Chains A and B, each alone.
Chain A
Amino acid sequence: AQTVTQSQPEMSVQEAETVTLSCTYDTSESNYYLFWYKQPPSRQMILVIRQEAYKQQNATENRFSVNFQKAAKSFSLKISDSQLGDTAMYFCAFMKTRIASGSRLTFGEGTQLTVNP
């Protein structure tokens, strides 16, 4: 079974600074997907960024980028120029490819990020 670990239950950052959230996972699969989801106080789960394991290039979405280290099974999220609206719980998630499973997401425990003015 896959496991996802987020070792930082809480983090804080000053507005306009950069912050990195950590995620490690354990799997015997060679092909899979990794995601970061954001859950603000509104409770909505919002997809932030995705990474396919077969792609060596790290994914980037505007101020959000990942550092994907396949051998180390590490998938960290970097948020640049942090904004107050980035305050949320961030979840790292793993998904095996479709053929291997019913595409369930396995989530980490989450990291509560607070952006301070």
Chain B
Amino acid sequence: DTAVSQTPKYLVTQMGNDKSIKCEQNLGHDTMYWYKQDSKKFLKIMFSYNNKELIINETVPNRFSPKSPDKAHLNLHINSLELGDSAVYFCASSPSEGAQYFGPGTRLLVL
């Protein structure tokens, strides 16, 4: 009965490839997020969707494209992967107002 799940947990790929990370929440929350945690463990918001509508789009390369097919799912597609994309990517969800609950993270390593 995992609340926020992400797949895959680990992703190792070559530069230039395209990859996707999937996120699902079963908490009934309206809002979902993608955060990036860099090698120094700093966490920063990338995107947020509320009821399938994009509401936060930080300064992120347009190689990153989020997609929300329904309010329980938020996927992240990354085109033309670069070495600097290596990081841990976290999905999170929250009710209309309140704390955010995180998935287990996806560690992406670009070689």
A91 within 8 A of B: yes
Q: How many residue-residue contacts, CB under 8 A, span A and B?
A: 58
Is the pair B104, A43 in contact by a Cβ cutoff of 8 Å? yes
Interchain CA distance A97-B107 in the complex, whole Å: 30
Is the pair A102, B88 in contact by a Cβ cutoff of 8 Å? no
Q: How many residues of A contact B (CB 8 A)?
A: 25
Q: A43-B105, A44-B102, A47-B99 are in contact. Are A102 and B48 (CB under 8 A)?
A: yes
B window 79-100: CB within 8 A of A: 88, 90, 92, 94, 96-100
- Most B CB contacts (10 A, CB to CB) among A35, A42, A97, A104 go to A104
- Smallest Cβ-Cβ distance to A101: which chain B residue: B56
Is the pair B41, A45 in contact by a Cβ cutoff of 8 Å? no
- Smallest Cβ-Cβ distance to A106: which chain B residue: B45
Interchain CA distance A24-B90 in the complex, whole Å: 24
Is the pair B42, A109 in contact by a Cβ cutoff of 8 Å? yes
- A interface residues, Cβ below 8 angstroms from B: 33, 35, 37, 39, 42-47, 50, 89, 91, 95, 97-98, 101-107, 109-110
Is the pair A104, B48 in contact by a Cβ cutoff of 8 Å? yes
Picked from B43, B48, B94, B97, the residue with its CB within 8 Å of the CB of A91 is B43
Is the pair B48, A107 in contact by a Cβ cutoff of 8 Å? no
Is the pair A47, B101 in contact by a Cβ cutoff of 8 Å? yes
- Smallest Cβ-Cβ distance to B33: which chain A residue: A104
B44 within 8 A of A: yes
Is the pair B105, A107 in contact by a Cβ cutoff of 8 Å? no
Q: How far is the CB of A34 from chain B (nearest CB, A)?
A: 11
> A103 — which chain B residues lie within 8 A by C-beta?
31, 48, 94, 97, 100
